[in-house]
Amino acid sequence: MSKVLNEVLLANREYASGFDKADLPMPPGRQFAILTCMDARLDPAKYAGLAEGDAHVIRNAGGRASDDAIRSLVISYKLLGTREWFVIHHTDCGMETFTNEIMTDLLGSSLKTASVDASGWHDCCEGPGSTEGKYINWLTIKDQAESVLEDVVRIKSHALVPTDIPVYGYIYDVKSGSLIEVPAATEAGKVG
Amino acid sequence: MSKVLNEVLLANREYASGFDKADLPMPPGRQFAILTCMDARLDPAKYAGLAEGDAHVIRNAGGRASDDAIRSLVISYKLLGTREWFVIHHTDCGMETFTNEIMTDLLGSSLKTASVDASGWHDCCEGPGSTEGKYINWLTIKDQAESVLEDVVRIKSHALVPTDIPVYGYIYDVKSGSLIEVPAATEAGKVG
C-alpha cells in the first residue's frame, strides 16, 4: 500500500470514529452552491465557513463554468434546491501559466520541462507529433476578474439555468485567505 | 445583501484574520488528487485528512469521470505533479434518484414535484414539450460500486492519462463517515 493511500485511510478511520453526521439530509441545508478551483491551497469549507450538509461544492481546474459544472449546477438547483451560487476563482492559479497551444505542445513532446514529467504516457501521447491534447479545450485563464465575469455570464445565459438565481463572482486571494468581490460579475449575476 | 452572502463573507473574514498559509506552493505537497461528488454532506478535507496545500480536489454531481474531470486530472498530473488519484462516490447519492429521461421530463414540464420547483426557468425550458434537457448527459448512477469501477476504467484508458498512475476506487458512507474500498475498481486502477 502506498504511503498516501495509507495516510488517507488512517485519517478517514480517525474521522469516522468521531462521526456524528449520520442524519444529515441530502439537500444542502443552507441552499447554495460554490463553483471553485481544484487548487490544493483552497479549502472552500474553511474559506467560506461550511459545515457538512451546508452547501454543494463543485471544483475543477480553474473553477470554470464548463458544461460539466453547469450539469452539476442544474442538478443542484432542480433536484436539490440550491437558490444562490458563487463562482470563485483565485490568485496565482495554475491555469494562468499555460495556453491551449502550450498544453498541446507539452502533450505532444517527450521533452522534460520545469515541473513537467512526460514519462509514462500512452503511446499516442508520447513523442513529438502527437496531437491528442488538441482535442481538449483546457479552459486556461488570462485574467482572474475577466474569467470570473465570463463564467458568471455563461452560467446566467445558459438555457437550463433559472432566471431567478443570483450568481456572485469572487476571487480568493491565496496570500491572505480573503474573498475579493468582482463587482462586474456580481452585477452580471443579478436576478432580473 | 442576502443572508447566505453575508454569512459567507463574515466566515471568510474570520478565516483570513487567522491566515498563516501565505507561503504554500502551487503544486500539491502530497502529490495526489481526489475526484468526488459535490454532495453537501461530503467534506473531502475532513474525510481524507487534507490540510491546505496537500491535494487537488475535483468535484461534480456524482464525482463522475466526465471529460471535464479528465481535463482537470491531466492538468493535475502534467503541470502540477500529482502521482496518485482517488475516485470516491458515496452512498445515498442524489444521482441515484433519477435518470436522463426523468431529468428531461422535469425540465420539460412546469409541474411541481417533491423537491422540485419548476418556476423561474428561461422560456425555452418551461412548459411541457421543452427538450433542452435532452442535450445533456446527466451521468446518473444505478449502483455505486459499478459507477466507481466504470469511472476508474474510463480514466485509466483515456489517451491522455499516463499509464504509471494508480487510481483507487472508494465509496464514502454518509452514515458512518467511512471510506469503503471497491476492490474491482482499485484492481482496474493498478499500474501496468
**Pairing status of strand B167-172 against strand B179-181:** antiparallel
Query: What average pLDDT does the segment A33-51 reach?
Result: 98
- Compare all CA atoms of chain A with the CA of B29 and give the residue at the minimum distance: A40
Number of residues that make up chain A: 192
Strands B167-172 and B55-60: unpaired
Confidence of residue A138 (pLDDT cuts 50, 70, 90): very high
**Strands of the sheet with A167-172, listed across from one edge:** A179-181, A167-172, A84-90, A32-37, A55-60, B55-60, B32-37, B84-90, B167-172, B179-181
What's the pLDDT score for residue B186? 95
If one compares B179 and A98, the residue with the highest pLDDT of the two is B179
* pLDDT given for residue A122 in this prediction: 55
What percent of chain A clears pLDDT 70, i.e. is strictly above it? 89
Task: Considering only residues A100 and A167, tell me which one the structure prediction assigns the higher pLDDT.
Answer: A167
* pLDDT tops 50 at residue B114: no
Cβ contact B133–A177 (<8 Å): no
Mean pLDDT of A109-126: 47
Mean pLDDT of chain A: 89
Please, which pLDDT band fits residue B130 given cuts at 50, 70 and 90? low
Is A109 or A1 the better-scoring residue by pLDDT?
Answer: A1
pLDDT at res. B116: 42
- List chain B residues with CB under 8 Å of A95: 75
Whether the per-residue pLDDT at B121 is higher than 90: the answer is: no
Residue bearing the bigger pLDDT, A57 or B112? A57
Mean pLDDT value across chain B: 89
| Interchain contact B102–A (C-beta under 8 A) | no
Are B161 and A9 a contacting pair at CB < 8 A? no
Looking at A128-132, A176-180, B10-14, which range is the least confident one? A128-132
Over range A15-41, report the average pLDDT.
97
Domains of chain B by start residue, with CATH: 27-96+141-192 (3.40.1050.10), 99-137 (no CATH)
Residue B127 — very low, low, confident or very high, per pLDDT cuts 50/70/90?
very low
* Per-residue pLDDT tens over the stretch A56-106: 999 999 999 999 999 999 999 989 999 999 999 999 999 999 899 888 887
> What pLDDT was estimated at residue B126?
47
Give the A:B interface size as CB pairs under 8 Å.
287
- Give the model's pLDDT for residue A130: 64
Interface probe, candidates B71, B82, B110, chain A, greatest A C-beta count within 10 A:
B71
B52 contacts on A by Cβ (under 8 Å): 40-43, 46
Angle (nearest 5°) at CA A49 between A63 and A51: 100
The fraction of chain B above a pLDDT of 90, given in percent, is 74
pLDDT at residue A129 above 70?
no
Does the pLDDT at position A108 exceed 90? no
pLDDT score of B113? 38
pLDDT digits (tens, 9 = 90+) for B31-85: 999 999 999 999 999 999 999 999 999 999 999 999 999 999 999 998 999 999 9
DSSP string for residues in chain A: --HHHHHHHHHHHHHHHT---TT--SS-TT-EEEEEE--TT--HHHHTT--TTSEEEEEETT----HHHHHHHHHHHHTT---EEEEEEETT-GGGS--HHHHHHHHT-----TT---TT--GGGSSTT--GGGGS-----S-HHHHHHHHHHHHHT-TTS-TT--EEEEEE-TTT--EEE-HHHHHHT---
Q: What percent of chain B has pLDDT over 70?
A: 89
pLDDT at A132: 73
Residue written as cell 436522463? B100
Question: Hey, is the C-beta of B179 within 8 angstroms of any chain A C-beta?
Answer: yes
Task: Tell whether A114 lies on the interface with B, counting CB pairs under 8 A.
Answer: no
